[in-house]
Structure 1
Amino acid sequence: MGQLSSKYAGRHGVPHASSLNELLQLWMSCKATRTLMDIYTQCLSSMISTCPDACVDALLDTSVQHSPHFDWVVAHIGSSFPNTIISRVLSCGLKDFCVHGAAPVDLLFPTAADKRVPKIASVVGILGHLASRHSGSIKQELLRMFHESLGPMRDQHQKATVPFLLQLAVMSPMLLGTISSELVDSLKPSVLNQLHQHFASLPREDLENMVSIVVHLICQTSAGAYRILQFLVNTAMPASVITTPGLAVHDSVREACDRIIQLLLLNLQKLVYNRGAPSLGDAPPRPVPFLDELKGHVRELCVETLRLERKRFLWQHQLLGLLAVYCAPNCATDALFYLLTLAHSQEELGLATQLYAVLSSCMTDLLPATVKKCVCQIHAGGLPEQHVVQLFHNLALIVQWEGEGPASMSTQLGAVLSHHLHDLGQLLLHRSPEVAEAASLLLSVCPMPRAVRPAHLLVIVRSAVHQFFLVLRRQSPTSLSYSSRLLARLSGTSPAATKAVLQQLVEGALHRGNAELFGGLGEAPSGDEAGLEGARVSLLDTNRRFTAAVNFSGSVWSVFHAGVIGRGLKPAAAAGGRAPEELAHNAQSFLSLLLRCCRGGRYGPAEAPVPPAAGVSPEAAKAVAVVLVESVCPDVTGSELCWPPEEHTRSTVERDLQICRRFRDNPLLFPLLRLVAAGRPALCYCSVLLRGLLATLMAHWEASRESDTTSSPWHLQASCALVACMAEGSLLPPVLGNMHEIFHQLAPFEVHLLLLSVWDYMRDNSPLPQKFTFQADRGLFFRDFSRDGDVGKYLAVLHSVLHKNIDRLGLLAGRFRT
């Protein structure tokens, strides 16, 4: 059969020896060769029980002589007697290995071993043919040979078993993959100690060669690569004090594993960095099976690395770097992503920055790709909420680290994150407060881009403002500081951003859902309690009962719904149940933030009171004024700056009462007016609010029959605040602006007369921005009241009131001299 196979191998129509199945079908289709195969099978079945070695030796000798043309015969015979052929082929191969001998260096050069041990190639070929269907039997036989070789009574064949098995593994990657995983699982501490005793007597040079072979085989291993790595790392770790005595390995075994790991990393480094970049004319780079298998275990490697266990994390961190370069760019971004997500301390986070420092020298756009992966994973729901929070905290920590020049990770990371402002801003509205807080922290520390699309800017501003009021309601100081800093930074990006932030903040604060945070009246209760009528009453009937005409605001058809006949007055809205300290803190936090935004995002002491001082941008103050007018009185335009005569108030009673009611329901409005007044001449654009308040207060004091003003505390406070605010905004001259200091010591009718003189002055000197001039040396707008004529005629009532109450107000007379 061997002669026939070799003779006709080169004939036309005969398949190549590598096409084993086609060659087997061709020869078996010939009746003569099929008859010879049947005769040989019959002879083998009769003789294999009495002299199996002779039968297998004859098969191997013929295979060596006529290989590879005889392989189809070996495959056919082996499939008929798998167990016997496998065991006898290995036995004969081991005997031949012992007879001819193989130097340890031959294991690294299979061609040299083929010449010295002729049957080894046939053994590899036969086992390779049988592995497709009988890999389990081959695996069991190889493991049996290995464990029997470690027994106490070892002959020459058993001593050569381990080198023989290594030789097979070097020559056949298929056999290596078949046995590697199970072999590692069988290497218990007792087996490792036996191996140590087995090789202790070998010369040092032979041991070094053996270690080199093991490292080479590990690099070529794909199946079970992660298990092999874990075995090496666990075995090389120093013994623990709680290790069970029977499970401890010898120190030499531990040192050997340590050396294997170091040589493995060195060899992998050579393989990875010597690959080079493939070109069109070159062959593809040589693969490294060990690293190819570890690609799917990047997360496990990162978790093990972050444990910071002595030598362990250094080895695995170095392996992560090699794996990232080998499988760039996917493994590089995955490794950085997992390290940034799973790190829980600065020491662990430092591993991510160290890995980036190694990889950034040979990879471009690594950081943008990593951040993009983080954003995609978050928005795809691929990360648990606690991991999202940890990731954002870690990114914020890196951005805040002081980098060394523009190439540092913190500088580059901040620039990359700024391009994902819109994606990260959406997370401010996340259902988890922790995620929203972490997103607010990250956005508050990363640099803002130079230009933001208006649509994206508006989305993130709205989200940040919503987040601000949420954390203000939850009384979270940390979250409040993040949100405030974010809004202040957003307001400093551009004038449009400043206006958007101020508008959203003021509208949000005046919204009935947030008004109760500052002591205002909240939203009306919903349900049956909210309506004056039952749920079954027709809305059309109710409207017909109130009026038969359309309700034109400001006309004679206006109707004040004070209640329902038969049901009594409309129930008063209940005030919030928050403590005065909390209300003051909320107002202080909001006004401090608003002031910083008006200053263009510049920071001041967070705990300092809001000063009426300069520094408020006139444009920013004007934006606040416009929002105030639109929120408090939306049915008027900001163009009504001229001050009308007192008689005009008769046609605006409803509007004036509405303005007064809004100021009474929301205590935050007066501080907002004061902030607007600090940015002269922005208070001019609040003229309609000032008129409405002043007209209502004048009507109240005129109708009051009390003996002193303290009987109406809110109206007294409102009168003082209004006059002081108008004086601060330079709408009143200093003498008239000081009159609020004596209101609490006057009678109601006297306050009415004084406010009437204020009205007269404002009527003759309307609050127009054109009356203000800019002083470049002070950076402020200034109003020269001497251009408005003599102020004395408006002080006659004030002087008369002072003269009447000279006994109580004599000491203050000096403040009211022109």
Structure 2
Amino acid sequence: MQAPLGVLTDLRNFLNGLSGSPSTSKNRTEVDSSEVVKTATNLLKNFPAAREAVLFYFCQVIDDSIKLHLSQSQIQNDNPAAKKRLVEKEAAVALIHEALSSLIKWNPKGWAPIISTWSLRLLGQMSSYHSPHLQHGHANRGLNDTLQVWLDCRATRMLIDLTTQSLEDLNQSETGACINALLETSVEHSPHFDWVVAHIGGCFPHTVVTRILACGLQDFILYGTESGNISPKLNSVVGILAHLSFSHATNIQKAVLDLFLTSCTDMSEQHTAVVPYLLQLSSLSQDLLDIIVEQGVKAINQDTIPCFTQQAAIWTSKYFSGREALINLMVQQVVRCRQGGLAIVNVLLQYGARHQPTFPREVASEFLEMLLNEAAQLVQASGRVMPSDVPFLQSLQPHVSNLCQMLLTHDTWQQGGVLRLLTLMALLQGPAVSIHVVTLLLQKKDPVKIVLLIRCYLKSVQGLHSQVVETSVHEALTFQGRNLENTLLNILQLVKLEQLGEPGAEVRCKFQSALNANLDFFPGLFFQDGQIPHLAVRLLNSIRLPEVIHPRLIAKLSYSSVPHFFTVLSMRGEGNKKEAQKILATLSSYPNGQALILRLLMQGVFSEEWKSLFGAETQPPKHPKGTSSSTSLLMQNRNFCSSVTLPQRHSSVFHAGIIGNGIRNRHLANTNPEDTNNCNVEEVRSHINLLLDTLSQCCSFNPGGMTQLSLLLVEIVSPDVMFNGLIWPDEEFTKVTVERDLHIRRFVQDNVVVWDLLNLLAHNRPALCYCSVILRAILATLLSHWANCQERQAKDSRDALDMTCKLIELMATGQLLPPPLSYLSEIIGHISPHEVHVLLKDVWAFMRDNIPTPALFGANERPSSSLWRDLSDYKMDPRYTERLRLIMLANIASVGHLYPRFLAPDQD
């Protein structure tokens, strides 16, 4: 503490410095010196009564420095005198900064509030006073530019530094005076003071935000009871926080959440006013609204709800005109909220569920209902409504998948609320939302629930979005794995509901039509894993395919469905097999589909991959394991030539090699240990029956279907394109076709399904006529066999006898042989091989003389689709029956009982 005499001396020197000495006639500028500043600093520290005068003097020095700086920066002249005065003023400002800063460090609690308040008020005055000069030539100068200009000035930068030093040296609880000064100055000098708020808030965001909220709360408690009266300080709080929210939103969020949670600690006036206070702030700023709503939702939990429930009575009686006014205000705020929409919906659905206590359930359900009604009014308002007009619904757009997941709840109230939300979003934001919703729902697993939800949703949006189903199905069919499987299962259920045609459940957006528009995706579905191929087939069978389909698409579907048919045959269960059969029959109904389906089926039946399903013997590998596939003939001859030369023998004998693989290993040819697809007899019979039924259905759409099938069979079985006609040549001609005939017989022996196919053709007369080449080949080989058979009785050659019986019965079924030749299979087991050979020669002769042409078949009097050949005109010509009569007479003991049936006079 300075002595009184020293203080008096400093006061006299300070006053002389302010007024100037008359004897020396110095002007004011010349008096301003470092000595006067030092003297003023001593008075400020030791003589409280001179504080106002000293600070006023400092204001004058700072004002002069600012004027000189702005003038110099605008005029940009090189006047040495002006530069000198500016340097002198900035030197004085530096002394002031040093002096005041030392006072703050010396006693922060005493001097920091005083100096910071003085600095802020002076900054406000200088900002407002010099604003016109600052904007000269820069009409639209932004906040960042303004901040940069002021910080370039030494005087204003000194004031900012003093304020930040004061806030830095004080504790959190001691900054109230500084923040109050900031708020009051902001109220008085806004918007010119915004740059100060921006800079200080950026330096101490947490401190500034927390204290500003607290000061605003105190002011709200004073003025909040007066309805409609908003204090200027509250507006300043909103302005500062809104400005800081751009760069320090995290600090504001934390401060707001802490304020919410702190308000739940007791029922004091300061705490009960928090929620109304924050509602007031949110109504004044969109930026604060987003933050306050988001943090308010976070603050709602099982611990805070009881306290908020108790405070609600105080809110409605003291700060609002009633409960309805409070809820209306909150609804209006939520509708305007641009973020946090999903969290709001989650909280409302959570506490509005049926299992919640009565009070939160009623409040949440009422609030959600009012929120949906308010949003619906905005969406359905007259004129064009943009998504930005309803920020709450727009904030939910990125969370459509979450909302769809909420639909899977068992609470019907929650489902209804979410469905209304999704409907409003679709109406506001266009068909993209409705398509997204339907696409997401199709991926869910619960078909019963999902189907009902989709139909309910489509009823709401189909009036505006007519193509939503078609586009959704298009996107859904591009999924993979489990999502695709769920999608197909859900679509299948939807199609079934559409086909039922339930009254009162009309949905104009049809999934059947959508599937027809997206048929291009189905060929690829047949090659997916799991249940996807089976579901795709069931879908195609469930819908009514278009009457006209592009040939290219028919080809794709055919090439996909036929392999699927054979794959299903190798599985257990009849359901999928019938579905696979049905789609093949459907595709065959198209003009260009039948021929392709039949060809693919026939190729698949005899392919290496699938023929074992129909009882065919698979071929062993040409080079069994353990043997070399190639032998060096040169090395064999070298070994041969090095052997001992016998006397009187030529040694120039060379080995010609082995033809093929050498002597055939019969045992190896009849076994195939690597074959893993062999089926038992019952399964093979089942597969063949299903194949025959499928072929019959595929051929039923075109009268020439069986003819195509017979020609395909000939093409596959016969290796030669020559001599495949209907004409049966002389028996001697079989010497020309012996190789082909043997190939055909081996093929038929290896593929037992050929007999079933021939039998199918025989029942669909006259299709068997086109298979004459196969019948001729088998009969020719049988003639050769029986002619050279050494057995005493034909029944001892069981395989040949069975094949002979099959052939005769087949030709009889196809009406190629008349009686009694058609009955030969009944007696050939009782006669000798030579006699069988003689009878078969008569059969050949009959076929040679009576060419099996389709022209011989006519309409049948019986109700049958096949044609009929009248064989009553073929009398028993002795050329074909005489040897039969003699053979039966020779074997009268064994076949005598059949004689009347075979050779009775005048028998038809």
TM-score range for the pair, normalised by the shorter chain length? 0.7 to 0.9
Match of 2:489 among 368, 376, 393: 393
Matched residue SS, 1:717: helix
The aligned counterpart of 1:23 is 146
Indicate if the aligned counterparts of 1:625 and 1:676 stay in contact, CA closer than 8 A. Answer: yes
CA distances 1:513-568 after superposition (whole Å, capped 9, x unpaired): 32221221024247634x9x6224369999xxxxxxxxxxxxxxxxxx99855675
Indicate if the aligned counterparts of 2:164 and 2:200 stay in contact, CA closer than 8 A. Answer: yes
Match of 1:640 among 725, 731, 744: 725
The reply on whether 1:273 has 2:372 as its aligned counterpart is: no
CA distance in 2, matches of 1:47, 1:312: 52
Cα deviation for residue 38 of structure 1 reads 5.8
Matches within 5 A, 1:142-221: 142-155=256-269, 157-200=270-313, 202=316, 206-221=322-337
The aligned counterpart of 2:631 is 537
Residues 1:680 and 1:527: Cα distance change in structure 2 (over 3 Å): same
Could you tell me which amino acid in structure 2 is paired with residue 574 of structure 1? T
Cα deviation for residue 668 of structure 1 reads 0.5
The aligned counterpart of 1:700 is 785
Indicate if the aligned counterparts of 2:462 and 2:509 stay in contact, CA closer than 8 A. Answer: no
CA distance in 2, matches of 1:269, 1:361: 16
Indicate if the aligned counterparts of 2:745 and 2:778 stay in contact, CA closer than 8 A. Answer: yes
Cα deviation for residue 725 of structure 1 reads 2.2
Match of 1:528 among 624, 630, 642: 624
CA distances 1:697-724 after superposition (whole Å, capped 9, x unpaired): 1222222233433323332232222222
Matches within 5 A, 1:392-791: 392-401=488-497, 402-404=499-501, 412-430=510-528, 432-492=529-589, 494-525=590-621, 528-529=624-625, 534-537=628-631, 564-565=661-662, 569=666, 571-574=668-671, 577-600=678-701, 617-637=702-722, 640-774=725-859, 780-785=866-871, 791=877
Cα deviation for residue 37 of structure 1 reads 5.2
Cα deviation for residue 569 of structure 1 reads 4.8
The aligned counterpart of 1:64 is 187
CA distance in 2, matches of 1:568, 1:45: 102
Match of 2:371 among 237, 259, 264: 264
Structure 2: segments with no counterpart, 5+ residues: 1-122, 637-657
CA distance in 1, matches of 2:848, 2:747: 24
Indicate if the aligned counterparts of 2:606 and 2:751 stay in contact, CA closer than 8 A. Answer: yes
Residues 1:66 and 1:265: Cα distance change in structure 2 (over 3 Å): same
Matched residue SS, 1:624: helix
CA distance in 2, matches of 1:357, 1:716: 71
CA distance in 2, matches of 1:303, 1:206: 37
Q: Which has the higher contact order (CA 8 A, sep 6+)?
A: 1
Q: How many residues align?
A: 750
Cα deviation for residue 10 of structure 1 reads 6.3
Cα deviation for residue 786 of structure 1 reads 6.6
Matched residue SS, 1:781: coil
Indicate if the aligned counterparts of 2:717 and 2:747 stay in contact, CA closer than 8 A. Answer: yes
The aligned counterpart of 1:358 is 460
Matches within 5 A, 1:131-150: 131-150=245-264
Cα deviation for residue 625 of structure 1 reads 1.0
CA distance in 2, matches of 1:452, 1:638: 39
CA distance in 2, matches of 1:46, 1:534: 96
Indicate if the aligned counterparts of 2:462 and 2:508 stay in contact, CA closer than 8 A. Answer: no
Say which is worse superposed, 728-737 or 251-260, in terms of deviation.
728-737
Indicate if the aligned counterparts of 1:349 and 1:394 stay in contact, CA closer than 8 A. Answer: yes
Structure 1: segments with no counterpart, 5+ residues: 107-112, 240-248, 279-283, 543-560, 601-616
CA distance in 2, matches of 1:538, 1:270: 93
Cα deviation for residue 669 of structure 1 reads 0.4
Residues 1:369 and 1:354: Cα distance change in structure 2 (over 3 Å): same
Indicate if the aligned counterparts of 1:502 and 1:594 stay in contact, CA closer than 8 A. Answer: yes
Match of 1:801 among 884, 887, 893: 887
Same amino acid, percent of matched pairs: 32
CA distance in 1, matches of 2:292, 2:756: 80
Indicate if the aligned counterparts of 2:470 and 2:513 stay in contact, CA closer than 8 A. Answer: no
The aligned counterpart of 2:358 is 251
Indicate if the aligned counterparts of 2:263 and 2:274 stay in contact, CA closer than 8 A. Answer: yes
Indicate if the aligned counterparts of 1:337 and 1:373 stay in contact, CA closer than 8 A. Answer: yes
Match of 2:400 among 298, 306, 310: 298
Match of 1:231 among 347, 355, 365: 347
Could you tell me which amino acid in structure 1 is paired with residue 816 of structure 2? L
Cα deviation for residue 644 of structure 1 reads 0.6
Residues 1:476 and 1:387: Cα distance change in structure 2 (over 3 Å): farther
Bigger Rg, which one: 2
Matched residue SS, 1:634: coil
CA distance in 2, matches of 1:14, 1:403: 77
CA distances 1:156-186 after superposition (whole Å, capped 9, x unpaired): x332221011111222232233344444333
Residues 1:147 and 1:682: Cα distance change in structure 2 (over 3 Å): same
CA distances 1:384-405 after superposition (whole Å, capped 9, x unpaired): x222222212222222232539
The reply on whether 1:320 has 2:405 as its aligned counterpart is: no
The aligned counterpart of 1:371 is 473
Cα deviation for residue 491 of structure 1 reads 1.2
Cα deviation for residue 126 of structure 1 reads 0.7
CA distances 1:613-635 after superposition (whole Å, capped 9, x unpaired): xxxx5411111112111111132
CA distance in 2, matches of 1:703, 1:343: 70
